[in-house]
Structure 1
Amino acid sequence: MDHLACFTPADLAGRTPPDLGSYRWKLLAQGDSWFSNARAKLNAHANLLQELVFKSNTVAVNCAGTGNALSHMVDLESSPEFVQLLTGPGAPVWDGVLLSVGGNDLIAAARTPAHNWNGEPIPLELRLLRRQTEWGPPSAGVARYFSEPGWTTYADYLRANVKHLLSLRDQGPSAGKPVFMHCYAVPMPRPAGAESSDELGSSGPWLYPALKAYGVPAADWAAVSRLMVFHLAQLLKSMAADKAAFPGLFVFDSTAVPLALAAPGSTGISGDWHNEIHLNHSGCFKIARAWSEHIEMVLEGKHLIPVPTGRKGRGSSNS
């Protein structure tokens, strides 16, 4: 098993660019801080790509690069290197695209306050948490704090962005190639921020102050976090299952990987977590090893299943 070889667009443009043709699988990567190569972030917490391993020699050109990673899915549109390498003249034919997206958008939606800067209420469909006067009955469990109208807005936004990304893929030489996304792990809301400001425009913590501001009881914080991350996982998996609307999308369910939770109230590295929302090296190792196997099975065609007689082509599962 070999670690994924990672390069940046700058490496490709350098005086001695890597020979991508010497690798069996060539991947293009883009994403949030889970993929970021920024030195400050690598010093602070792990990069999921660094822990991917494959039986066949595999390379990725990582457009998360050394600058700020994506803070929102729509930033893909303003990522010229990624778009150029995916669709531009002379772009390579990639065997697949690796994406780490949606998590920052979820955190940003959860952090949307109940009122705007001049005290006017922000509509329920534009936030993920409910004010105390909007809470449902205790019988609803932690779902009583959760804004389903806000979730519908977020889900529509994510679906539209992923569809747009798949359309970009199909405009270039890698049309129809698999796009790999991962779900996220469930963070423990706690006062553990980053060493410096991150791509969300904050040094954190992120969920902890939001849940405090909305008055959610501390005993329910972990369950609220789990509810949101599992909603996102189900959304991503449902998209991957809809092969007509999201062709070639494959989603790995990171929530199924057992991780050591951070201790409630801890302020630094705890369990498999570096801070409130970023994994440390042990956490990345656990998820990446499982995701690697999923990716390689798809690349080798082992995900393919027979299609009933009378239908053209071959179908595939997304797990």
Structure 2
Amino acid sequence: MESRLEHLVCLTPDEFKRRGDLSTLRWKLLAHGDSWFSFASKRVNAHANLLEELVFSQPTLAVSCAGHHNALRRMVDLEGSPDFIRLLDGEAVWDGVLLSVGGNDLISAAQVPALQPDGSITPLRLRLLRKQTEWGAPSAGVGRYFSEEGWATYCDYLRANLKHVLSLRDDGPNKGKPVFMHCYAVPVPRPAGSEDADASSGPWLYPALKAYAIPQADWAAMSRLMLSKLATLLKACAADKEGYPNLQVFDSTQVPIAPATLGSSGISGDWHNEIHLNHSGCFKIARAWSTHIEAVLSGKPLVVAAPPTGRGRRS
């Protein structure tokens, strides 16, 4: 008989300070990241939260520094998160760290325009997309639109930031504890932004691909190319045990997610908007990722389960 699974208990740093007895917990995790982790009520009501859907066979708590504040927009913002740095660097001992980072940086790199404000051309090493006069041969597929020079710059940036996070972990009592990262599901570029009124309200990939005149028929494949390259990069870092000790990466691109309909502007498939999953999408990825996390925490061999079906905690 399958053991009963319990949802991860998520607390903000302030709530963690007021928490009393922790003896009933099997695992304690520290979490930080982008809007996939943020559990501010306006974000959870707007789309979903991956942390909320994580489940474990024994009581598990996560202190999320994404919390009720703005989620990370760039990896380098980790350095400016005092709660995360304080909790990682010695105020508490954790069984592991959960990170949701890299996706916003990828989107920002895709949004870099071909022309700078003074009219000069942005060097290829500083952008991910090629303007029409720079496209490669049709035989290259959607790779003809992609700047490998810019990708190399992004890779250097992400590797340096990951090394820095691991060095922060290893400076204190949490040295060597596993750092868990997920990859990102592949979105369909479409005119579906969030309800927020700030500059990050989206859509995100859709205007970038339009600005570079990439044919609409290639948008879905272009998105898959970029997200697959990010997944390959993260998995390569995790495989480098000396350079990135105990970095654990889960490939979310392999979880079957119902795609949104091209051109749709609202909830579609397993997506709330262009880049955020709805609750059914988060449920699917979180259940698969939970299995990976618990296997590492418990030291048991990872058994790949069948992809989950159904909806998450919320309808």
Q: What is the TM-score normalised by the length of structure 1?
A: 0.92
1:92 deviates by 1.4
Per the alignment, residue 294 of structure 2 pairs with: 296
SS at match of 1:61: strand
Q: Deviations over 1:11-53 (max 9, x none)?
A: 1234xx2433320100000000000022211110100000000
* 1:49-198 mapped onto 2 (5 Å cutoff): 49-88=51-90, 91-197=91-197
SS at match of 2:23: helix
CA distance in 1, matches of 2:194, 2:269: 16
The counterpart of 1:13, out of the listed 17, 27, 52, is 17
Letter in 2 for 1:39: S
Per the alignment, residue 261 of structure 1 pairs with: 259
How many positions carry a matched residue from both structures? 298
Letter in 2 for 1:55: S
* Structure 2 unaligned regions, length at least 5: 303-315
1:26–1:95 Cα contact (<8 Å) kept: yes
CA distance in 2, matches of 1:72, 1:194: 18
Q: Deviations over 1:272-311 (max 9, x none)?
A: 000000000000000000000000000011249xxxxxxx
CA distance in 1, matches of 2:243, 2:219: 35
SS at match of 1:13: helix
- Which segment drifts farther, 229-238 or 32-41? 32-41
SS at match of 1:30: strand
Aligned CA-pair RMSD: 1.1
4+ aligned runs moved over 4 Å, structure 1: none
Letter in 2 for 1:63: C
1:11–1:18 Cα contact (<8 Å) kept: no
CA distance in 2, matches of 1:21, 1:72: 35
SS at match of 1:21: coil
Please say if 1:46 is aligned against 2:48: yes
Q: Deviations over 1:199-221 (max 9, x none)?
A: xx321101001000000000000
1:183–1:232 Cα contact (<8 Å) kept: yes
Per the alignment, residue 244 of structure 2 pairs with: 246
Q: Deviations over 1:162-221 (max 9, x none)?
A: 0000000001111100000000000000000000146xx321101001000000000000
CA distance in 1, matches of 2:301, 2:147: 36
CA distance in 2, matches of 1:6, 1:143: 40
Percent sequence identity over matched residues?
70
* 1:278-289 mapped onto 2 (5 Å cutoff): 278-289=276-287
1:4–1:52 Cα contact (<8 Å) kept: yes
The counterpart of 2:216, out of the listed 211, 218, 231, is 218
1:20–1:59 Cα contact (<8 Å) kept: no
Q: Deviations over 1:92-117 (max 9, x none)?
A: 11000000000000011001110112
SS at match of 2:62: strand
SS at match of 1:26: strand
CA distance in 2, matches of 1:26, 1:117: 48
Per the alignment, residue 314 of structure 1 pairs with: none
Q: Deviations over 1:219-243 (max 9, x none)?
A: 0000000000000000000000000
SS at match of 1:119: coil
* Structure 1 unaligned regions, length at least 5: 305-319
Per the alignment, residue 23 of structure 1 pairs with: 25
Letter in 2 for 1:220: D
CA distance in 2, matches of 1:73, 1:260: 28
CA distance in 1, matches of 2:297, 2:58: 10
Per the alignment, residue 272 of structure 2 pairs with: 274
Per the alignment, residue 310 of structure 1 pairs with: none
